[in-house]
Structure 1
Amino acid sequence: MAWSWPEIKQKLQCPKDEDAQYENTTWCNRDLIPTPPDRRTYGVWSYFGYWTVSGSCISAWSTGSTLLAFGLSPQQAIAVVVVGGILAGLLAVACGWMGENHHIGFTVSSRFSWGMRGSYFPVVLRVFVSCMWFGMQAFWGGQATRVMIGAIIPGFAHMPNYFASGSHLQTKDFIGLLIWMCAFIPGLLIRPEKLQVPFIICFTFFCGSCFGLLIWAVSQAHGPGIMFQKPGSAPNVGWAFMFGITAILGSWGSGTLGQSDWTRYAKRRFAPTLSQLIASPLTIAATATIGIIVTSASRDIMGGEIQWNPIYLLADIQDFYGSSPGVRAAVFFASIGMVFSQFSISVVLNSVSCGMDMAGLWPRYINIRRGGYIMACVGIAVQPWQLLSTAEKFLSVLSGFGVFMAPATGIMLADYHIVRKHELKIGDLYTGDSSSIYWFADGVNWRAFVAFVAGMWPLIPGLVATVNSYSEDEWTGWIRLYNLTFLIGLAMSFIVFWMLSCVFPPPGLGQESSFSGDETLYGVSKLDDTKEPTVQGEERNRQPVVLSEIFILFVQSF
C-alpha cells in the first residue's frame, strides 16, 4: 500500500536526532536550535583552521589589484591589508559574540533584531548573494581543475572548443567544472562540526601553492619585480588608504556578519577570539603580500599583461615554459592547492551559511545539508561563466552588495551589544506568535527597517554612478561615500537603530531565559498550532517498493 500524502510529508521532514526533545516547526529544526554540547567541537586551533582558509584564498591573493587601483603603492597596500585585517578580526569578534555565548547562528539571531517575520529579509539577501558567489567560486574551482588536468595531459590544456562561441564557456572549462562539482557535492555531507581536518588539508595545500609561486617568482626575477618598486599615484593618500580599508572590510563583510554561524560550535568561551584577532589579519596580509610580489615579478619574467588570478597565472607559466615535464609537475601540485582553496572557501563562506539561512526559510524540510545542495543547483543554474564574461554591470552590483550587508551588520551590533546588552530570551526566538517578545508588530520590527534604509540610502547614488561609469567630477562626493560603504553603512544604521530603540524601547528588554524555559521545550511551544499532525505509526502490509518510497528514503538520508 502506497503512503498517503500526510505520511509522505512526514517522511520528507528533516531528520531529527535520536531521543530529540524538539520538533521540526516553522521556526525550528536540528540545525537551528542552539548547538548542543556534543556538537560544540571547535577549540582554539579549530578556529585557526577556519581563519586560515577564510583569509588564505584567491580573493585575498587578488586584493592587491583593488588596492593598487586606488593609487596606493605596493608597500602602502600591504599596510592597508594589515590594518584592514585587524579591523575585520575585531568585527568578527563583535559579530560572533552571540554565537559564542548563546550558540545560535545569524539566521536565528536576526529574529530578535528584525522580528520573527521581518528576519526573512536579511536572510533572503544573504541567500541570494551566497548563491551568486558560489556559482562564480565553483567556476573558478572548475578552471583550477582544468589547469590541474592540463598539467597531466598537455593536450587537454589546448583542447578544441566544441561549444558555441556565444556560450562563453569552453569545453575544457566545462569538464573541469563537472569534475570539481563531483568532488564538492560529497563534501556537503560533512557536518560543520566535523570540518576541522578538511580545513587543515586545504590550508596546507594552498600554502604550498603560494610559497611555491613566491619562490619561483622571486628567484627568476631576482627580486619582487619592477611594479613592486613603483610609487603610489593617489592624489590623496589618506582617502586612498580609507578606501582600501573599507575594501578589505567589504570583502570579508559577509563572513563577519555570519560569524555566529561558526562561533556557535565553540567548545568554550573565547575559543574563537584568538584566531579572529591574530589569524585573520596574519593570513589576509600574508596572502595579499605574496599576491602582489608574485604578480609583480611574474610580469617581469613573462612580460605581457598583469595577471592577478593565480589560476590563470599557472596556465600562463605552463605555456611560457613550453609544457616541459618539470614545469608541468610544478603546475600540477600548485593547482591542487587552488582546487582545495576553492573547495574550502565555498564551504566556509557559502554552503554552511547559505544552508543555515535556507533552513530558516523552511525549517521543516530544509536543513544545512539540503540548503547546501539547493545553493549548488542555483549557483550553477545562473551560468556564472555568462556573468563573468558579459554582465559587467551585474558583477559591479553584486560586488556592491556591501551596501546592504553593512547596514544589516550595524543593526545587529547595536541591538545585541547596546540595546539588549547580551540578554536574550532564547525560547522566544522559536515561538511564532504574539506571545514572543520578538514578535513586535505582526512579526516585524519597524526600527530595523528604518535603520536599514538610513544606512543604505547615502550609498545608493555612488553605487549607481560606479556601475554606470558616471563622471567622477560630477559625482565625487557620492562615489567617495560609496567607496567607504562598509564604514558609513555600518555606522549610520548602528546610530539610527540605537536612537530609535532609546526613544521607542522594544518590548522585553532585560528579559533572559534558556532555550527550554517559559513553557517552550527545545523551541516548540506547547501551544504551537503550526505543527502538522504527526502521522500515527500503524502496521503496513509488505508491498513492492514504489519509486516514491525510494525517493523519500533517499531524501531522508540527507
Structure 2
Amino acid sequence: MSTKAKILARLEVPQREEEAEVWQQSRWLNRDNVPLPPSRRLWGTWSYVGFWCATGINISGWTGGSSLLSLGLSVREAMAVAVIGQCLVAGACVLTGLFGAEWHVGFPLWNRTTWGMKASFFPLLNRIALSFTWSATQAWFGGQVLKTLLGSIFPSIYRKFILISLQADNIDMHNPFPASTAMDGSDFLCFCLFLIISLPLLYIPPEHFRIPFLVTAMISTVACVSLFIWSLARGHGPGPLVGSDAMKLVGVEKARGSALAWAMFYGISSQMGQICAGILNNSDYTRFAVHPRAQIMSQVFVIPIQGVLTCLIGIICTSVAAQYYPDEGLLWQPYSLLTAVQNNGGAGARAGVFFASLAFLFAQFGINIAGNAVSGGIDLASLFPKYINIRRGAYFTTLMALPMCPWALVSGATVYISVMSGYATFLAPMTGLMVFDYMFVRKRQVKLSNLYDCSPASIYYYYKGVNYRAAVAWVCGVAPCFPGFLASVSTVKVSLGATHVYYLCWPLGFTISGVVFVVLSKIWPPAGLGEIDEYDYFGTFGEPDGPSHSDLTKAAGIIESSSGKDPIDDVHTVPVSV
C-alpha cells in the first residue's frame, strides 16, 4: 500500500466492526446518512417544541424583529409583518418536514430524488455554504454575549486586555483591527472563545439533543420575558418607538401608501429569509421524529407564537432603551442593550446582566450547535461519506466561522435584512422544487434503496445523474428576483419594478420553481413514479433495535449489483410500510 493510500485509509471514518464491510460497499452511504432505525428516532412533540423555541428565542430572532423598524414601519405594522411572516414560516416548515418524518432521511437524500444523484451536489454545496455563513453569524452573536457576561464580572474587558497577565490591569488594550471592521480585540477574543467552548459540545449525537433543547428553551424564554417585563416597568409603557416620534428615532422616513405596502412585503420576505436555510433542511431534524405527527403540531403552533413574541420583545426593549439611553443610539442587539444597562447601572445591574447574558449564551450554543454546525455536518457527511461523519462535519463547520468574517454581516440593521433576504433568492426555488416534487409529482412515495445507487438502474439517476427539469425550474425561480438581489448587495441600479419583485423573493421563487417543475414533469414524466422498495432493507420501519447486519448487507448488495457486482446474499428482510 502506498503512503498516500495509507494516509487516506487512516482518514476514513471509523465504523463499528459489524457494519464496516457494509459502508465500504458504496461511496454514497454511511451510518449517518442511511434511513434512521427506530432506535435513533427519539424526538417527540415536546422535543420539537424545545427545538423551535431554542432556535427562535435568541439574538437573531430578537434582532430580526427590531430591524423591521428600519424599513419605515411602525411598531403595529412591524408586528403585522411578523405575524404573517411567521405563519408562512410555520407552513413552509411543516411541508419541508414531511419527507424526513415519513422516510427518516434528511435534506441531502431528499435532494437526490429531485435533482438526481450527481446534480444533488449543487443544492448540497449551497446549503453547506449557508451552514458556514449562519454558523459564523451565530458564533459572532455568541461571542458578543460572552463578552457581556465576562464584562459583568470583569468590567475592564471593555477597555483592557485583562487576559495577558494580572500586572496588565492598568495597560490599555491596543486594538489591532481597523475601524472599518467595527470590532476591537475583546470582540475577536470572545468570538474565538465561543468557538473553542463549542467544540466539546459537538460530540453529542443529534438524536440526544431533545433534553438540552428543552432546557435551553426554558432558560431563554424566562430571560426574554424578564427583560420584556423589566423594560415595560422601567419605561412605564412601551417607549418612544411606539409613539409619533418613532421614525425620527429610527432615522428613516415613515413609509406610506404603496411604499408602505412594498416595505411590508419586504419585511415578510426578510422574516422568511432569516430562516430560509432552516426551512430548506428541516428534514435533517424531522427524520428523528418518533412518529410523523410529532413534528407537525409543534411547528404549526410554536413557530408563530415564539417568532411573534420574540419580535415584540425585541422591539419594545429597543424602544425603552432609546428612552433611557438616548446617547447610545438604537440598541438593536440584546447584548448592546445589556452593555448599556451595565454601563449606566450599579452592582445590581451587573448581576442582572450576568444572568441575562448567561441565558442568551445558552441559547446561542443551542441554535449554533444544532441548527448550524450539525446541519453542516449532516450535509458534509453525505458529500464525503467515506471520510466525514456528522461529528467531523460539525467540527469543520464550526472552525469555518473564523474565515467567514461574520462581523461584516451584522454591521447594521439594514445590512442584516439585505443579507437574510438575499439568501431566499436562491434557496426558496430549491425549497419549492423539493416540496412540489414530493407532494404532487411523487405523491410522497420514495424508493429508499435507489437513493444510494448512482447508476442508470436507479430511478433517481435521470440523465447521467442530472434531472434537467430541476435545473430549468430553479433558474426560472431565481431569474425574476436576481436583478433586485444584485442591486441590494452592490451599486448596480435596477428598475423599481425589479426591486419590488425582489421584495417577494421567497414566496415568488418557491411558487414559480415548484409550478414549473410540476409542469415539466407532466410533459416529460420521470421514471419510477410511485415506486417504493419491496423490502425494508435498512430496518427503517422494522424492529426497534434497528437494522440487522444482514439487512444492511443486503441493502449494500442491492446497490452494488446495479453496477455489475454480485449482490451479497441475505435472507432477512421485512416489507416496507409507511
What is the TM-score normalised by the length of structure 1? 0.88
Displacement after TM superposition at 1:281 (Å): 0.5
1:395–1:215 distance in 2 versus 1, CA, 3 Å: closer
Displacement after TM superposition at 1:384 (Å): 2.7
Amino acid at match of 1:248: Q
Partner residue in 2 for 1:13: 12
Displacement after TM superposition at 1:320 (Å): 1.8
* Alignment map for 1:493-504 (pairs within 5 Å): 493-504=513-524
Partner residue in 2 for 1:551: none
Amino acid at match of 2:178: G
Displacement after TM superposition at 1:62 (Å): 1.4
Partner residue in 2 for 1:209: 223
- The answer to whether structure 1 residue 483 and structure 2 residue 495 are counterparts is no
Partner residue in 2 for 1:372: 394
Displacement after TM superposition at 1:8 (Å): 5.0
1:274–1:102 distance in 2 versus 1, CA, 3 Å: same
* Alignment map for 1:21-170 (pairs within 5 Å): 22-24=22-24, 25-159=26-160, 160-166=172-178, 168=181, 169-170=183-184
- Asked if the contact 1:112–1:429 (Cα under 8 Å) also holds between the matched residues in 2, the reply is yes
Partner residue in 2 for 1:177: 191
Q: Distance in 1 between matches of 2:85 and 2:520?
A: 30
Displacement after TM superposition at 1:97 (Å): 0.5
Q: Distance in 2 between matches of 1:266 and 1:490?
A: 26
Q: How many residue pairs end up in the alignment?
A: 525
| Bigger Cα displacement from structure 2, 505-514 vs 377-386 | 377-386
Specify the SS of the correspondent of 1:380: coil
- Asked if the contact 2:64–2:417 (Cα under 8 Å) also holds between the matched residues in 1, the reply is no
* Alignment map for 1:374-453 (pairs within 5 Å): 374-385=396-407, 388=410, 396=418, 399-453=421-475
Partner residue in 2 for 1:521: 554
1:37–1:17 distance in 2 versus 1, CA, 3 Å: farther
Displacement after TM superposition at 1:6 (Å): 4.6
Partner residue in 2 for 1:555: none
Q: Distance in 2 between matches of 1:267 and 1:296?
A: 43
- Asked if the contact 2:53–2:306 (Cα under 8 Å) also holds between the matched residues in 1, the reply is yes
1:530–1:123 distance in 2 versus 1, CA, 3 Å: farther
Q: 2:482 is matched with which residue: 451, 457, 460? A: 460
1:468–1:368 distance in 2 versus 1, CA, 3 Å: same
Partner residue in 1 for 2:168: none
Partner residue in 1 for 2:373: 351
Displacement after TM superposition at 1:77 (Å): 1.6
Identity %: 36
- Asked if the contact 1:127–1:358 (Cα under 8 Å) also holds between the matched residues in 2, the reply is yes
- Asked if the contact 1:205–1:336 (Cα under 8 Å) also holds between the matched residues in 2, the reply is no
Q: Distance in 2 between matches of 1:180 and 1:345?
A: 13
**Structure 1, unaligned stretches of length 5 or more?**
532-558
Amino acid at match of 1:88: V
1:306–1:469 distance in 2 versus 1, CA, 3 Å: farther
Q: Distance in 2 between matches of 1:199 and 1:394?
A: 26
Q: Distance in 2 between matches of 1:317 and 1:523?
A: 60
Q: Distance in 2 between matches of 1:29 and 1:257?
A: 22
Displacement after TM superposition at 1:52 (Å): 0.6
What is the TM-score normalised by the length of structure 2? 0.86
- Asked if the contact 2:270–2:420 (Cα under 8 Å) also holds between the matched residues in 1, the reply is no
* Alignment map for 1:250-269 (pairs within 5 Å): 250-269=273-292
Q: Distance in 1 between matches of 2:402 and 2:342?
A: 29
- Asked if the contact 1:67–1:244 (Cα under 8 Å) also holds between the matched residues in 2, the reply is yes
- Asked if the contact 1:388–1:395 (Cα under 8 Å) also holds between the matched residues in 2, the reply is no
Displacement after TM superposition at 1:40 (Å): 0.3
- Asked if the contact 2:276–2:423 (Cα under 8 Å) also holds between the matched residues in 1, the reply is no
1:396–1:67 distance in 2 versus 1, CA, 3 Å: closer
- Asked if the contact 1:43–1:268 (Cα under 8 Å) also holds between the matched residues in 2, the reply is yes
Q: 2:323 is matched with which residue: 297, 300, 309? A: 300
Amino acid at match of 2:137: M
Q: Which runs of 4+ in 1 moved over 4 A?
A: 2-8, 386-390, 392-399, 517-520, 528-531
Specify the SS of the correspondent of 1:104: coil
Q: Distance in 2 between matches of 1:308 and 1:327?
A: 19
Displacement after TM superposition at 1:244 (Å): 2.4
Displacement after TM superposition at 1:233 (Å): 3.2
**Structure 2, unaligned stretches of length 5 or more?**
161-171, 247-253, 539-550, 566-578
Displacement after TM superposition at 1:508 (Å): 0.9
- Asked if the contact 1:68–1:74 (Cα under 8 Å) also holds between the matched residues in 2, the reply is yes
Q: Distance in 1 between matches of 2:415 and 2:189?
A: 28
Displacement after TM superposition at 1:395 (Å): 9.1
- Asked if the contact 2:65–2:310 (Cα under 8 Å) also holds between the matched residues in 1, the reply is no
The alignment yields a C-alpha RMSD, in angstroms, of 2.5
Displacement after TM superposition at 1:291 (Å): 0.5
Displacement after TM superposition at 1:529 (Å): 6.4
Displacement after TM superposition at 1:301 (Å): 1.3
